[in-house]
Amino acid sequence: MMNGLQSLPQWRSTFGKPEGALLGFMNAVYPLSKVIGLFPATWLGDNYGRRRPMFVGFLLLPIGAALQAAAQNTPMFIASRFVLGFSTSFLAQPSPILVTELAYPTQRAKITSLYNTFFYLGAVLAAWSTFGTFRIQSTWAWRIPSLLQAVMPSIQFAFFYWLPESPRWLIAHGQEEKARQIFTKYHGNGDHNSPLVDFEVAEINESLQRNTLDNHSNSYVDLMRTAPNRRRMLIAVGIAFFAQWSGCSVVSYYLTLVLNTIGIRDVAHQTLINGMLQIFNWIVAVCGGALLVDRVGRRRLFLIATTGMFCAYIPWTVLNAEFAKTHNQALGNSVLIFIFVYYFFYDIAWTPLPLAYTAEIFPYSLRGRAITVNYIGTYAGLISGQFINPIAMKAITWHYYIVFCGILAFLVVAIYFLVPETKGHTLEEINEIFEGPQVPLNVAVTDGKGGTQATEMEVSSDASRKV
């Protein structure tokens, strides 16, 4: 949205052609307000269910969109972005947790990875709405895209009634029968005697009992209380922060400034490139990342992606330097090619995995707070970048890209030594990667002859096949 608006002269003239620190603040207020909203959203989700904060978000978000569309001056526009960011937290915080906790075991990785790729669906709609309105010679060129921000949440809200609650939350709050009904419907093909349902319920109960024994309180301090949790935190916060400081935020929020440095200044061309980039990003994130996560693995995707980003950023920087000397437009167009190459690699891991991976590696009792801390890391990266990026781009232009070359080299090494593979494990089994081997879970299931037998569960991709 902000990339598209910054390209529009109608928006720039309305707000006095903001640049530098003011432009940075107009961008940064959105993630800043999301940080503030995360804490009440987490409290609501942990105490009243994953659906409750989402309901609040659906009510507040259209108000922010209406305020932005009606903005008459810079303070009003900033206030609207604050309301939008605050309300979005009530949707963003519980959603990946709910998706993770509802997903069928063998489909969890793909579904949770797909969740975050839909960021680009919103980006596509925002980018193309500004491309469609830039010819309007009035402030409606930016007011219409601003108002359209309320459309997708309204569609989601229309179907919200049929969204089930998290079975793990229900079991943790003494509502095991409701959780069993949800598992039976979505994981057991309606079979009330499904061994898989018995296994999942028993596994969750045992995991909750272990967490209760291990944790005497239920606070953010628990995230740092043990060595395994500290390792989880280092990974989660590192991935979240560097998802924004790996070179993408320069293009994601200041594409106009980047294109200006390579000689592409026409409004039509800038808005068209923005729109095409978002479509490209979404296709790659879905087909090259989310749908391959079980086949390739999380760790390998992170390593391939980050290495590819580093290899793309080097020629991006060199070509930009040469363009600054010669102003040869062919060099500028070559930079544009490497921006797309960079995003190809970014999208296969850094778009689908940060939230999905964080939700996987933390146990149930800490998952809500871990997602909140992950978002704080993300927004810390966003806020700092949105202040620093426009100032640095104006002051040192292409030299700023050298910083990201160094960061990407560091990330390749850090991922290699710190990030473990979680492919092929249930949410409860992933604990063993960090905590060490635990006593195998045995579940009593009916043997069909009136007796019971203890068994360990192997889950297939077909809900009707369970052994």
- Concatenating the DSSP letter of every residue in 159-208 gives TGGGPPPPHHHHHHTT-HHHHHHHHHHHTSTT-TT-HHHHHHHHHHHHHH
- pLDDT of 255 reads 79
pTM over 0.85: no
Place of tokens 């519980």: 94
Give CA–CA dist 255/271, Å, rounded: 10
Flag whether pLDDT at 368 surpasses 90: no
Q: Are 189 and 87 in contact (CB under 8 A)?
A: no
Nearest of 160, 115, 85 to residue 353 by alpha carbon: 115
466 DSSP 8-state letter: B
Give, to the nearest 10 degrees, the angle between helix 51-69 and helix 74-92. 160
pLDDT at 259 over 70: yes
Mean per-residue pLDDT over the chain, rounded: 86
34: helix, strand or coil: helix
Position 440 confidence tier, pLDDT thresholds 50, 70, 90? low
Is the pLDDT reported for residue 11 higher than 80? yes
pLDDT at residue 253 tops 70: no
Residues 181, 184, 188: CA angle, nearest 5 degrees:
175
Segment 113-123 mean pLDDT: 87
Alpha-carbon span 120 to 316, nearest angstrom:
23
Neighbours of 196 (CB within 10 A): 26
Query: Cα separation of 251 and 280, whole Å?
Result: 14
For 191, counting Cβ atoms within 10 Å of its Cβ (0-12 exposed, 13-18 middle, 19+ buried), the class is: middle
pLDDT of 452 above 50: no
Residue 375 has pLDDT above 50, yes or no: yes
Over 90: is that where the pLDDT of 443 sits? no
DSSP 138: S
Q: How far is CA 242 from the centre of its chain?
A: 13
Selected residue with higher pLDDT from 351 and 253: 351
pLDDT at 313: 94
383: helix, strand or coil: helix
Range 388-400 average pLDDT: 85
Is pLDDT at 221 greater than 50 in this prediction? yes
Task: Report pLDDT for 412.
Answer: 97
Confidence of residue 438 (pLDDT cuts 50, 70, 90): low
Task: Give residue 251's identity as a one-letter amino acid code.
Answer: V
CB 176 within 8 A of CB 206: no
Q: What is the pLDDT of residue 22?
A: 87
Q: Which of the residue ranges 162-166, 212-216, 386-390 has the most confident prediction, judged by mean pLDDT?
A: 162-166
Distances, alpha carbon 341 to alpha carbons 135, 247, 307, 309, in Å: 30, 13, 12, 8
Question: How many Å apart are CA 276 and CA 186, to the nearest integer?
Answer: 37
The segment with the largest mean pLDDT, out of 303-307, 366-370, 447-451, is: 303-307
Q: Which residues contact 112 (CB under 8 A, 6 or more apart)?
A: 96, 99, 100, 103, 355, 356, 359, 360
